[in-house]
Structure 1
Protein backbone atom coordinates (compact mmCIF):
# COMPACT_ATOMS: atom_id res chain seq x y z
CA UNK A 1 0.00 0.00 0.00
CA UNK A 2 1.43 3.34 -1.10
CA UNK A 3 4.69 1.57 -1.90
CA UNK A 4 4.87 -0.27 1.43
CA UNK A 5 4.70 -4.05 1.72
CA UNK A 6 2.40 -5.71 4.25
CA UNK A 7 2.10 -9.38 5.16
CA UNK A 8 0.17 -11.51 7.61
CA UNK A 9 -1.96 -14.57 8.19
CA UNK A 10 -5.27 -12.68 8.16
CA UNK A 11 -6.45 -9.69 6.14
CA UNK A 12 -7.35 -7.79 9.33
CA UNK A 13 -3.86 -8.31 10.74
CA UNK A 14 -1.56 -7.21 7.92
CA UNK A 15 1.70 -5.95 9.40
CA UNK A 16 4.19 -3.61 7.85
CA UNK A 17 6.90 -5.98 6.53
CA UNK A 18 9.70 -3.41 6.58
CA UNK A 19 10.08 0.20 7.69
CA UNK A 20 7.82 2.75 5.98
CA UNK A 21 9.24 3.47 2.56
CA UNK A 22 11.58 6.46 2.65
CA UNK A 23 10.05 9.51 1.02
CA UNK A 24 6.51 8.16 1.27
CA UNK A 25 4.39 11.32 1.09
CA UNK A 26 1.38 9.70 2.71
CA UNK A 27 2.41 6.75 4.93
CA UNK A 28 -0.30 4.22 5.74
CA UNK A 29 -2.11 4.44 9.07
CA UNK A 30 -1.06 1.74 11.53
CA UNK A 31 -2.62 0.34 14.69
CA UNK A 32 0.13 -1.34 16.72
CA UNK A 33 2.05 -2.04 13.51
CA UNK A 34 -0.98 -3.36 11.59
CA UNK A 35 -2.76 -1.75 8.67
CA UNK A 36 -5.63 0.56 9.69
CA UNK A 37 -7.91 3.29 8.30
CA UNK A 38 -8.34 1.78 4.87
CA UNK A 39 -10.34 -0.54 2.64
CA UNK A 40 -8.84 -3.80 1.42
CA UNK A 41 -10.57 -5.50 -1.52
CA UNK A 42 -9.93 -8.78 -3.29
CA UNK A 43 -11.64 -11.37 -5.47
CA UNK A 44 -11.43 -15.11 -5.16
CA UNK A 45 -13.15 -18.16 -6.67
CA UNK A 46 -15.72 -19.95 -4.52
CA UNK A 47 -17.16 -23.36 -5.31
CA UNK A 48 -20.95 -23.31 -5.50
CA UNK A 49 -23.15 -26.39 -5.97
CA UNK A 50 -26.22 -26.08 -8.17
CA UNK A 51 -24.81 -23.71 -10.79
CA UNK A 52 -23.60 -24.69 -14.25
CA UNK A 53 -20.00 -23.47 -13.87
CA UNK A 54 -19.58 -24.85 -10.33
CA UNK A 55 -17.48 -21.82 -9.39
CA UNK A 56 -18.51 -18.22 -8.71
CA UNK A 57 -16.52 -15.04 -8.22
CA UNK A 58 -16.51 -13.84 -4.60
CA UNK A 59 -15.72 -10.15 -4.09
CA UNK A 60 -14.57 -9.24 -0.59
CA UNK A 61 -14.48 -5.71 0.79
CA UNK A 62 -12.88 -5.23 4.21
CA UNK A 63 -13.08 -1.84 5.87
CA UNK A 64 -10.50 -1.40 8.63
CA UNK A 65 -11.31 1.40 11.08
CA UNK A 66 -9.05 3.94 12.70
CA UNK A 67 -6.49 3.11 15.39
CA UNK A 68 -8.01 3.06 18.87
CA UNK A 69 -6.42 3.41 22.33
CA UNK A 70 -6.47 -0.37 22.91
CA UNK A 71 -3.86 -0.82 20.15
CA UNK A 72 -6.35 -2.18 17.62
CA UNK A 73 -8.82 -0.62 15.21
CA UNK A 74 -12.12 0.89 16.28
CA UNK A 75 -14.15 -1.08 13.72
CA UNK A 76 -14.03 -3.86 11.16
CA UNK A 77 -16.68 -4.26 8.50
CA UNK A 78 -16.81 -7.05 5.95
CA UNK A 79 -19.00 -7.05 2.86
CA UNK A 80 -19.30 -9.87 0.31
CA UNK A 81 -20.74 -10.15 -3.19
CA UNK A 82 -21.10 -13.43 -5.05
CA UNK A 83 -21.42 -13.24 -8.85
CA UNK A 84 -23.60 -16.11 -10.02
CA UNK A 85 -24.79 -16.86 -13.59
CA UNK A 86 -28.28 -15.74 -12.48
CA UNK A 87 -27.10 -12.46 -10.92
CA UNK A 88 -25.22 -11.12 -7.94
CA UNK A 89 -26.08 -11.62 -4.29
CA UNK A 90 -24.47 -9.59 -1.54
CA UNK A 91 -24.41 -9.52 2.20
CA UNK A 92 -27.49 -7.80 3.56
CA UNK A 93 -25.33 -5.79 5.99
CA UNK A 94 -21.70 -5.39 6.99
CA UNK A 95 -20.33 -8.16 9.17
CA UNK A 96 -17.32 -8.44 11.45
CA UNK A 97 -16.60 -12.11 10.70
CA UNK A 98 -16.26 -14.16 7.52
CA UNK A 99 -18.48 -16.84 9.11
CA UNK A 100 -21.45 -14.49 9.47
CA UNK A 101 -20.95 -12.93 6.04
CA UNK A 102 -20.75 -16.30 4.22
CA UNK A 103 -23.77 -17.67 6.08
CA UNK A 104 -25.64 -14.47 5.15
CA UNK A 105 -24.81 -15.17 1.47
CA UNK A 106 -25.81 -18.83 1.82
CA UNK A 107 -29.19 -17.75 3.19
CA UNK A 108 -29.84 -15.69 0.07
CA UNK A 109 -29.11 -18.43 -2.46
CA UNK A 110 -31.93 -20.08 -4.38
CA UNK A 111 -33.11 -23.54 -3.40
CA UNK A 112 -30.69 -26.14 -4.74
CA UNK A 113 -27.77 -23.69 -4.80
CA UNK A 114 -25.24 -23.84 -1.95
CA UNK A 115 -21.71 -22.89 -1.01
CA UNK A 116 -19.31 -25.85 -1.13
CA UNK A 117 -16.57 -24.81 1.23
CA UNK A 118 -15.34 -25.40 4.76
CA UNK A 119 -17.95 -22.98 6.13
CA UNK A 120 -20.70 -25.45 5.11
CA UNK A 121 -18.71 -28.66 5.67
CA UNK A 122 -19.77 -31.33 8.16
CA UNK A 123 -16.20 -31.63 9.46
CA UNK A 124 -15.16 -28.07 10.34
CA UNK A 125 -15.72 -25.89 13.36
CA UNK A 126 -14.39 -22.89 15.27
CA UNK A 127 -12.57 -23.11 18.58
CA UNK A 128 -14.83 -22.22 21.51
CA UNK A 129 -11.92 -20.02 22.68
CA UNK A 130 -12.58 -17.68 19.75
CA UNK A 131 -11.69 -17.22 16.12
CA UNK A 132 -10.19 -14.62 13.85
CA UNK A 133 -11.85 -12.80 10.99
CA UNK A 134 -10.86 -15.37 8.35
CA UNK A 135 -8.96 -18.64 8.13
CA UNK A 136 -9.32 -19.98 11.65
CA UNK A 137 -11.61 -22.98 11.17
CA UNK A 138 -10.42 -26.31 12.55
CA UNK A 139 -10.75 -29.17 10.08
CA UNK A 140 -11.69 -32.62 11.37
CA UNK A 141 -11.54 -34.63 8.13
CA UNK A 142 -8.98 -36.91 9.79
CA UNK A 143 -11.17 -37.58 12.84
CA UNK A 144 -14.69 -37.57 11.38
CA UNK A 145 -16.23 -40.10 13.75
CA UNK A 146 -14.91 -38.32 16.82
CA UNK A 147 -16.14 -34.99 15.47
CA UNK A 148 -19.61 -36.38 14.80
CA UNK A 149 -19.83 -37.15 18.54
CA UNK A 150 -19.11 -33.52 19.59
CA UNK A 151 -22.03 -31.96 21.45
CA UNK A 152 -20.46 -29.36 23.75
CA UNK A 153 -17.62 -26.90 23.69
CA UNK A 154 -15.72 -29.16 26.09
CA UNK A 155 -16.03 -32.05 23.63
CA UNK A 156 -14.56 -29.78 20.97
CA UNK A 157 -11.73 -28.53 23.22
CA UNK A 158 -10.73 -32.18 23.83
CA UNK A 159 -10.80 -32.92 20.09
CA UNK A 160 -8.93 -29.84 18.83
CA UNK A 161 -5.47 -31.50 19.15
CA UNK A 162 -6.69 -34.18 16.70
CA UNK A 163 -7.73 -31.66 14.04
CA UNK A 164 -6.22 -31.83 10.56
CA UNK A 165 -5.20 -28.18 10.85
CA UNK A 166 -6.63 -24.71 10.36
CA UNK A 167 -8.38 -23.80 7.11
CA UNK A 168 -10.02 -20.84 5.45
CA UNK A 169 -13.80 -20.78 5.37
CA UNK A 170 -13.67 -20.72 1.55
CA UNK A 171 -11.36 -23.75 1.18
CA UNK A 172 -12.70 -27.00 -0.34
CA UNK A 173 -11.01 -30.41 -0.06
CA UNK A 174 -11.90 -33.78 -1.58
CA UNK A 175 -13.51 -34.96 1.70
CA UNK A 176 -16.23 -32.30 1.81
CA UNK A 177 -19.54 -33.38 3.31
CA UNK A 178 -22.57 -31.09 3.52
CA UNK A 179 -23.17 -29.95 7.10
CA UNK A 180 -26.50 -30.85 8.65
CA UNK A 181 -28.11 -28.56 11.19
CA UNK A 182 -27.33 -29.19 14.86
CA UNK A 183 -23.92 -30.67 14.08
CA UNK A 184 -20.82 -30.16 16.23
CA UNK A 185 -20.19 -27.21 18.47
CA UNK A 186 -21.40 -24.46 16.12
CA UNK A 187 -24.67 -26.27 15.36
Structure 2
Protein backbone atom coordinates (compact mmCIF):
# COMPACT_ATOMS: atom_id res chain seq x y z
CA UNK A 1 0.00 0.00 0.00
CA UNK A 2 1.48 3.36 -1.02
CA UNK A 3 1.30 6.51 1.10
CA UNK A 4 -0.05 8.61 -1.77
CA UNK A 5 -0.46 8.83 -5.50
CA UNK A 6 1.65 11.42 -7.24
CA UNK A 7 1.91 13.02 -10.64
CA UNK A 8 4.17 11.42 -13.23
CA UNK A 9 6.32 14.53 -12.83
CA UNK A 10 6.01 17.42 -10.35
CA UNK A 11 3.55 20.14 -11.34
CA UNK A 12 4.82 23.73 -11.24
CA UNK A 13 2.32 26.53 -10.62
CA UNK A 14 3.33 30.22 -10.73
CA UNK A 15 2.22 31.68 -7.40
CA UNK A 16 2.01 35.00 -5.59
CA UNK A 17 2.52 35.24 -1.83
CA UNK A 18 1.29 38.36 -0.06
CA UNK A 19 2.45 39.06 3.49
CA UNK A 20 3.46 42.01 5.67
CA UNK A 21 6.36 42.73 3.32
CA UNK A 22 4.24 42.89 0.19
CA UNK A 23 3.93 40.58 -2.79
CA UNK A 24 6.46 37.93 -3.78
CA UNK A 25 6.30 35.88 -6.97
CA UNK A 26 7.39 32.28 -6.68
CA UNK A 27 6.54 28.76 -7.86
CA UNK A 28 4.42 26.26 -5.99
CA UNK A 29 5.57 22.72 -6.80
CA UNK A 30 3.12 19.87 -6.32
CA UNK A 31 4.33 16.26 -6.57
CA UNK A 32 0.93 14.85 -5.69
CA UNK A 33 2.39 13.94 -2.31
CA UNK A 34 4.03 17.14 -1.13
CA UNK A 35 3.99 20.87 -1.84
CA UNK A 36 7.21 22.89 -2.06
CA UNK A 37 7.71 26.64 -2.30
CA UNK A 38 10.56 29.12 -1.88
CA UNK A 39 9.77 32.46 -0.24
CA UNK A 40 12.56 35.08 -0.20
CA UNK A 41 15.24 32.41 0.03
CA UNK A 42 13.34 30.25 2.53
CA UNK A 43 12.29 26.80 1.37
CA UNK A 44 8.97 25.43 2.64
CA UNK A 45 7.63 21.91 2.24
CA UNK A 46 4.60 20.00 3.48
CA UNK A 47 2.02 17.37 2.65
CA UNK A 48 -0.71 19.98 3.19
CA UNK A 49 -0.80 23.63 2.20
CA UNK A 50 -1.76 24.75 5.68
CA UNK A 51 1.36 23.04 7.05
CA UNK A 52 4.21 24.33 4.89
CA UNK A 53 7.23 23.85 7.15
CA UNK A 54 10.48 25.76 6.90
CA UNK A 55 13.25 23.45 5.70
CA UNK A 56 16.61 24.17 7.31
CA UNK A 57 17.71 27.44 8.89
CA UNK A 58 15.93 30.70 7.98
CA UNK A 59 17.56 32.71 5.22
CA UNK A 60 19.37 35.90 6.17
CA UNK A 61 16.92 38.53 5.00
CA UNK A 62 15.38 41.79 6.19
CA UNK A 63 11.97 40.38 5.24
CA UNK A 64 11.64 37.13 7.22
CA UNK A 65 8.51 35.00 6.79
CA UNK A 66 5.99 34.77 9.61
CA UNK A 67 6.17 31.37 11.29
CA UNK A 68 4.02 29.39 13.69
CA UNK A 69 6.18 26.63 15.19
CA UNK A 70 8.12 26.51 11.93
CA UNK A 71 5.06 26.57 9.64
CA UNK A 72 4.33 29.43 7.26
CA UNK A 73 1.51 31.71 8.42
CA UNK A 74 0.13 35.27 8.21
CA UNK A 75 0.02 35.36 4.42
CA UNK A 76 -2.07 34.74 1.34
CA UNK A 77 -0.99 32.31 -1.41
CA UNK A 78 -2.58 32.56 -4.85
CA UNK A 79 -1.99 30.29 -7.82
CA UNK A 80 -3.72 28.68 -10.80
CA UNK A 81 -3.68 24.97 -11.58
CA UNK A 82 -5.28 22.80 -14.27
CA UNK A 83 -8.06 20.39 -13.32
CA UNK A 84 -9.99 17.92 -15.43
CA UNK A 85 -13.63 18.62 -16.21
CA UNK A 86 -16.19 17.01 -18.48
CA UNK A 87 -18.25 19.37 -20.65
CA UNK A 88 -21.62 18.34 -22.09
CA UNK A 89 -20.59 18.96 -25.71
CA UNK A 90 -16.86 18.25 -25.83
CA UNK A 91 -16.26 15.72 -23.05
CA UNK A 92 -13.09 15.77 -20.87
CA UNK A 93 -10.94 18.91 -21.05
CA UNK A 94 -8.45 20.71 -18.82
CA UNK A 95 -9.64 23.93 -17.17
CA UNK A 96 -7.76 26.49 -15.04
CA UNK A 97 -8.65 26.55 -11.36
CA UNK A 98 -7.65 29.73 -9.50
CA UNK A 99 -6.96 29.18 -5.80
CA UNK A 100 -6.66 31.79 -3.05
CA UNK A 101 -5.50 30.43 0.30
CA UNK A 102 -5.38 32.61 3.41
CA UNK A 103 -3.18 31.46 6.30
CA UNK A 104 -3.96 33.43 9.47
CA UNK A 105 -1.93 34.47 12.48
CA UNK A 106 -0.76 32.21 15.34
CA UNK A 107 -3.47 31.56 17.93
CA UNK A 108 -3.53 30.18 21.44
CA UNK A 109 -6.13 27.48 20.87
CA UNK A 110 -5.08 26.25 17.42
CA UNK A 111 -2.21 26.48 14.93
CA UNK A 112 -3.47 29.69 13.31
CA UNK A 113 -6.63 31.72 13.79
CA UNK A 114 -7.80 31.28 10.19
CA UNK A 115 -7.43 29.01 7.18
CA UNK A 116 -9.70 29.82 4.26
CA UNK A 117 -9.75 28.99 0.58
CA UNK A 118 -11.73 30.38 -2.34
CA UNK A 119 -11.83 28.87 -5.84
CA UNK A 120 -12.63 30.09 -9.34
CA UNK A 121 -12.96 27.60 -12.21
CA UNK A 122 -12.60 29.02 -15.73
CA UNK A 123 -14.94 27.29 -18.18
CA UNK A 124 -15.80 28.16 -21.80
CA UNK A 125 -19.26 29.23 -20.59
CA UNK A 126 -17.83 31.50 -17.89
CA UNK A 127 -16.22 31.49 -14.46
CA UNK A 128 -17.70 29.45 -11.60
CA UNK A 129 -16.65 30.55 -8.10
CA UNK A 130 -17.15 29.32 -4.56
CA UNK A 131 -20.01 31.12 -2.86
CA UNK A 132 -17.92 31.88 0.25
CA UNK A 133 -14.46 31.12 1.71
CA UNK A 134 -14.14 27.56 3.06
CA UNK A 135 -11.86 26.04 5.70
CA UNK A 136 -11.10 22.85 3.77
CA UNK A 137 -10.42 22.08 0.12
CA UNK A 138 -13.13 19.41 0.33
CA UNK A 139 -15.81 21.95 1.20
CA UNK A 140 -14.55 24.46 -1.36
CA UNK A 141 -14.66 21.90 -4.18
CA UNK A 142 -18.10 20.66 -3.18
CA UNK A 143 -19.33 24.25 -3.11
CA UNK A 144 -17.80 24.80 -6.54
CA UNK A 145 -19.41 21.64 -7.92
CA UNK A 146 -22.86 22.79 -6.87
CA UNK A 147 -22.45 25.84 -9.09
CA UNK A 148 -21.34 24.02 -12.24
CA UNK A 149 -23.55 24.35 -15.34
CA UNK A 150 -25.85 21.45 -16.18
CA UNK A 151 -23.93 18.60 -17.76
CA UNK A 152 -20.53 19.82 -16.52
CA UNK A 153 -18.68 17.56 -14.09
CA UNK A 154 -15.43 17.87 -12.16
CA UNK A 155 -13.19 14.87 -12.87
CA UNK A 156 -11.16 14.70 -9.67
CA UNK A 157 -10.75 12.56 -6.58
CA UNK A 158 -13.25 14.68 -4.66
CA UNK A 159 -15.98 13.48 -7.05
CA UNK A 160 -14.69 9.92 -7.59
CA UNK A 161 -16.68 6.82 -6.64
CA UNK A 162 -13.69 5.26 -4.85
CA UNK A 163 -12.55 7.99 -2.43
CA UNK A 164 -13.48 8.70 1.16
CA UNK A 165 -12.35 10.37 4.40
CA UNK A 166 -11.62 8.83 7.77
CA UNK A 167 -14.57 9.32 10.14
CA UNK A 168 -12.27 11.04 12.65
CA UNK A 169 -11.71 13.89 10.18
CA UNK A 170 -9.06 15.05 7.75
CA UNK A 171 -6.66 17.87 7.03
CA UNK A 172 -6.92 20.76 4.61
CA UNK A 173 -5.88 18.71 1.56
CA UNK A 174 -4.33 15.35 0.70
CA UNK A 175 -5.91 13.11 3.36
CA UNK A 176 -8.46 11.51 1.04
CA UNK A 177 -8.25 7.70 0.97
CA UNK A 178 -8.43 5.98 -2.41
CA UNK A 179 -9.87 2.47 -2.90
CA UNK A 180 -9.22 2.11 -6.62
CA UNK A 181 -7.58 -1.31 -6.09
CA UNK A 182 -10.53 -2.51 -3.97
CA UNK A 183 -13.46 -1.14 -5.92
CA UNK A 184 -15.95 -3.90 -5.14
CA UNK A 185 -15.14 -3.89 -1.44
CA UNK A 186 -15.62 -0.12 -1.26
CA UNK A 187 -18.86 -0.22 -3.26
CA UNK A 188 -20.31 -2.35 -0.46
CA UNK A 189 -19.46 0.22 2.25
CA UNK A 190 -22.41 1.60 4.18
CA UNK A 191 -21.73 4.08 6.99
CA UNK A 192 -18.86 4.44 9.42
CA UNK A 193 -18.57 0.78 10.42
CA UNK A 194 -18.47 -0.31 6.80
CA UNK A 195 -15.62 2.09 6.07
CA UNK A 196 -13.65 0.95 9.11
CA UNK A 197 -13.95 -2.64 7.82
CA UNK A 198 -12.10 -1.82 4.57
CA UNK A 199 -9.94 1.12 5.71
CA UNK A 200 -6.74 -0.96 5.89
CA UNK A 201 -7.34 -2.07 2.29
CA UNK A 202 -7.06 1.46 0.88
CA UNK A 203 -4.66 1.92 -2.02
CA UNK A 204 -3.19 5.13 -0.59
CA UNK A 205 -4.00 8.78 -0.03
CA UNK A 206 -4.70 11.36 -2.73
CA UNK A 207 -5.17 15.08 -3.14
CA UNK A 208 -8.74 16.14 -3.82
CA UNK A 209 -7.87 17.67 -7.20
CA UNK A 210 -5.96 14.63 -8.47
CA UNK A 211 -7.28 12.58 -11.41
CA UNK A 212 -6.34 9.09 -12.57
CA UNK A 213 -7.56 6.61 -15.23
CA UNK A 214 -9.61 4.72 -12.60
CA UNK A 215 -11.90 7.70 -12.07
CA UNK A 216 -15.59 6.89 -11.93
CA UNK A 217 -18.27 9.46 -11.22
CA UNK A 218 -19.49 9.32 -7.62
CA UNK A 219 -23.19 8.79 -7.01
CA UNK A 220 -25.09 10.26 -4.02
CA UNK A 221 -25.13 7.99 -0.97
CA UNK A 222 -21.84 6.25 -1.80
CA UNK A 223 -19.57 5.03 0.99
CA UNK A 224 -19.22 6.82 4.32
CA UNK A 225 -19.16 10.43 3.14
CA UNK A 226 -22.16 10.01 0.86
| Pairwise TM-score range, normalised by the shorter structure | over 0.9
- Quick one: distance in 2 between partners of 1:89 and 1:3? 35
* TM-score scaled by length of structure 1: 0.95
SS of equivalent residue, structure 1 residue 5:
strand
Match of 1:62 among 101, 111, 114: 101
**Structure 1 residue 144 corresponds to structure 2 residue 195:** no
**Structure 1 residue 77 corresponds to structure 2 residue 82:** no
**Greater CA deviation, 64-73 or 8-17?**
64-73
The answer for unaligned runs of 5 or more in structure 2 is 1-38
* TM-score scaled by length of structure 2: 0.79
The answer for unaligned runs of 5 or more in structure 1 is none
**Structure 1 residue 127 corresponds to structure 2 residue 162:** no
**Structure 1 residue 184 corresponds to structure 2 residue 223:** yes
SS of equivalent residue, structure 1 residue 141:
coil
Q: Shift in Å at residue 18 of structure 1?
A: 1.5
Greater than 2 Å deviation, 4+ residue runs: none
- Quick one: distance in 2 between partners of 1:88 and 1:184? 31
Q: Which has the higher strand share?
A: 2
Count of aligned positions: 186
Q: Is the 8 A contact 1:31 1:71 kept in 2?
A: no
Q: How does 1:100-119 map to 2 (within 5 A)?
A: 100-119=139-158
**1:20-63 deviation line (CA, Å, top 9, x unaligned):** 112x1121111111000001122111000016471100111100
Q: Shift in Å at residue 89 of structure 1?
A: 1.0
- Quick one: distance in 2 between partners of 1:157 and 1:31? 34
- Quick one: distance in 1 between partners of 2:123 and 2:110? 39
- Quick one: distance in 2 between partners of 1:33 and 1:71? 14
Relative to structure 1, the CA distance from residue 125 to residue 80 in structure 2 (aligned partners, 3 Å threshold; closer, same or farther) is same
Q: Is the 8 A contact 1:37 1:65 kept in 2?
A: yes
Q: Which has the higher helix share?
A: 1
